[in-house]
Amino acid sequence: MRKIFGRSILLSYIVSYAAVMAVLFIGVGIYVNNSYASAIHESIVEENTNRLSSLRIQHEEKLSALINIANQISLSPYITPFKLKENALKAYYLKEHLVSYNAENFFDQLYVVFHDDEYLYSSGTSMSMDIFTEKLMHYEGIPADYLNSLLRKKDGEICILPATGVRSVLTSDTNKNMVTIIIPLRLGGRFIVGNAVFIINDVAYQKMFTDEISQERNMYIFSGKTVISAKRAINIPDEVILKEISETEDSIIRDIVLQDGSKYILFAQRGKLLNLCYVSVIPHETVQMQTARSRLAFSLFLLMLSVPCGLLTVYFANRHVKPIREIQKSIGGGYNGGRRIQRN
């Protein structure tokens, strides 16, 4: 009976301590669980916002460099509009001047077009505009006459042709996607006399989209309703993205749901140059997966922590029961069935 009584007291202490531990573990678990979910979501939002800002800044630096080159050509005292047939020496000086820009590794080719001339110039050659557009440069989906009109445009606005398949012997890759940027040349910074045409391999854009650590993420650069270039790791229609950013004036972060029920997080930033829009899209499950991994790690930590806590529970329970056992022994030693035992 005495042993059963002692064990029942020990068990009561163990259960009491275990209940306290369980309440603490559950409370800490709920708090950390909610904190993890919120912190991870904020971390992912911050990471993707910074990544998109990095893309925007990097691309705007490249655009600024191209605009500066066009301005330098426009303001150069050695370069004035001319006709090749009338002044071949000026064509030579122009080509010599264009050589200095060959070190720029962002664009593949730089051409200069004067509105009053029938020829197009680069650092290596000069050629007829008709030959260039009809035989040497074939843009997928752009007729030669329309390409000719684009290269000769006189509206004074910077024009960006999106990444398009180009077949040409004049580029480093004969059959690749190319982005074409047409920047007006202004004589003395005032009168439009021609255009600087930059041919950029889309590989240069893909490098800007590439992450140091590979992630499932789409990235886009929009000009109006046109995608200049993009990296598509997720199958999302461009129309969905365009609809979400159509009224964006600054920056947005929002959840989008496709018709098939798949959820994504969209980040968009409006650029400072040419009103371009930079967009990034990640699956919503990215947040869920990172949250689940963090919860699993914390659950394993609590499980490991429960072992020493269990041992401590048994230790302290025995420690508290020990005085009770001593008192029980001292009282039980002087009675036998309720009668005092006489000792000689």
- Domain total of the chain: 2
How far apart, in whole angstroms, are the C-alpha atoms of residue 152 and residue 197? 10
Same domain flag for 227 and 199: no
- Listed residue (69, 63, 109, 107) closest to 221, CA to CA: 63
> For residue 78, what are its two tokens?
């050695």
How many of the other CB atoms lie within 10 Å of CB of 142?
Answer: 16
SS3 221: strand
Are 184 and 243 in a shared domain? no
Are 230 and 175 in a shared domain? no
Residue 241 covered by a domain? yes
User: Is 147:137 a contact under the CB 8 Å cutoff?
Assistant: yes
Residue with tokens 């110039």: 121
CATH number, domain containing residue 241: 3.30.450
Question: Residues 4-48: pLDDT tens digits?
Answer: 544 566 677 667 767 777 777 677 667 666 666 677 778 888 888
Read off the pTM.
0.74
For the chain, what is the largest distance between any 2 Cα atoms, rounded to a whole number of angstroms?
144
> Measured in whole angstroms, how far is the alpha carbon of residue 48 from the centre of its chain?
5
Are 166 and 251 found together in one domain? no
pLDDT over 70 (residue 344): no
- Of 206, 222, 256, the residue that ends a domain is 206
Residue 337: what pLDDT? 42
Question: Could you tell me if residue 8 is inside a domain?
Answer: no
Pair (200, 93) in one structural domain: yes
Task: Please check the confidence at residue 192 and state whether its pLDDT lies above 80.
Answer: yes
The CATH number given to whatever domain includes residue 139 is 3.30.450.20
Residues 173 and 261 occupy one common structural domain:
no
Question: pLDDT tens digit string along 44-69?
Answer: 888 889 999 999 999 999 999 999 99
**b vs e for 79-111, b when ≥16 Cβ sit within 10 Å of the residue's Cβ?**
beebebeeeeebbeebbebbeebeeeebbbbbb
CA distance 341 to 338: 10
Mean pLDDT of 247-259: 86
Q: What is the pLDDT of residue 264?
A: 92
201 and 81 share a domain? yes
Range of the domain at 259: 213-287
> Which residue, 144, 172, 206, sits at the end of a domain?
206
- Does one domain contain both 223 and 279? yes
Residues 166 and 264 in one domain: no
Within this chain, do residues 172 and 276 fall inside the same structural domain, yes or no? no
pLDDT tens sequence across 330-339:
765 544 444 4
200 and 250 assigned to the same domain: no
- In order, the DSSP letters of 299-318 are HHHHHHHHHHHHHHHHHHHH
